[in-house]
Amino acid sequence: MSPRPLSASSAAGAAAVGREQTRLRVIEAAIDLLTRGGRDAVTTRAVAEGAGLQPPAIYRLFGDKDGLLDAVAEHGFATFLAGKHVDPDPQDPIEDLRAGWDVAVEFGLANPALYTLMYSEPTRATSATFKAGMEILMSRIRRLATRGWLRVDEELAAQTIHATARGAVLTWLSLPKDRRDPALLTTLREAMVAAVTNQQPAVQEAGPTGAARALRAALPEQTTLSGAEQYLLREWLDRLAADG
């Protein structure tokens, strides 16, 4: 009995799966070249050879070399995101912040060439997986804020945490191996913690600033106030929080 022919939708699905598998094979070949020889080693000819394809296939799949590098960076963000452990209710939110920072730095040190590529272009901050990672960071920051630990605005905290982790990795990688002191990473991490958190929860201290930040962070979770009332209260809380 001859096999039943695939339906149009099944054939299209199989083609899409095959295309995605080929894309992944190309991306993995590019990452291998990047890891062994740096960015200059990632040529379309070398990638095609590593993936077992003809060079024109790279252009069909990614448009050009820049498109391929963007796909490699996106794959890096996705790999990093997949390795993140997220505790929705950590017992100690500051230790949770430290642990998250360490994970980000460790990924960069373990994947230096890929990490450098991921953060070499500011436009990659628009990546969907980059944004998903930042949402995880923002959830950590929001927990700090609702518990009264955050000493700066949430957006500034996110920028500080992200910048110190990225700066730690890129600085470490720029140093000769005999000058890489692990104390550098610890010092930068603790400087970040001191910059964005209080030594004690601010809501236990006198003054409205810490309480305003804590209440502002928790405001979206309440259902009592109308939209107009929330808007007005947020304006007041923004003004109180800015006085700190």
| Chain segment 131-181, per-residue pLDDT in tens | 998 999 999 998 898 888 999 999 999 999 999 999 999 999 999 999 999
Q: Over the chain, what is the mean pLDDT?
A: 87
Most confident of 63-67, 166-170, 240-244: 166-170
Tokens 């106030």 found at: 225
| Cα 144 to Cα 162: distance, rounded to the nearest angstrom | 16
Rg, the chain, Cα only: 23
pTM for the full model? 0.76
| Cα 115 to Cα 96: distance, rounded to the nearest angstrom | 23
Instruction: Name the maximum alpha-carbon separation found in the chain.
Output: 84
**Poorest-pLDDT segment among 84-93, 109-118, 197-206:** 197-206
Q: What is residue 49's predicted lDDT score, i.e. its pLDDT?
A: 96
| Cα 187 to Cα 87: distance, rounded to the nearest angstrom | 25
Q: How many CB atoms lie within 10 A of CB 174?
A: 10
Under a CB-based contact definition with an 8 Å cutoff, are residues 155 and 114 in contact?
Answer: no
- Distance in angstroms between the alpha carbons of the first and the last residue of the chain: 79
| Cα 101 to Cα 146: distance, rounded to the nearest angstrom | 20
Comparing CA positions, the residue from 71, 76, 160, 151 lying closest to residue 112 is: 76
Q: What is residue 206's predicted lDDT score, i.e. its pLDDT?
A: 45
Alpha helices in 38-62 (DSSP H): 44-51, 55-62
- Rounded average pLDDT over 57-78: 93
Contacts 24+ apart (CB under 8 A), 94-99: 94/144, 94/149, 94/193, 94/197, 96/140, 96/143, 97/140, 97/144, 97/161, 97/193, 97/196, 97/197, 98/189, 98/193
Which two three-digit tokens encode residue 223?
A: 């259902």
Q: How far is CA 109 from CA 17, 22, 106, 188, 225, in A?
A: 33, 28, 5, 15, 47
Comparing CA positions, the residue from 197, 93, 188, 92 lying closest to residue 152 is: 197
Confidence of residue 50 (pLDDT cuts 50, 70, 90): very high
Q: What is residue 6's predicted lDDT score, i.e. its pLDDT?
A: 53
Q: What is the per-residue pLDDT across 186-223, written as a single tens digit (0 to 9) for each?
A: 999 999 999 999 887 755 544 567 677 777 877 777 77
Better-predicted residue by pLDDT, 212 or 112 = 112
Q: What is residue 14's predicted lDDT score, i.e. its pLDDT?
A: 63
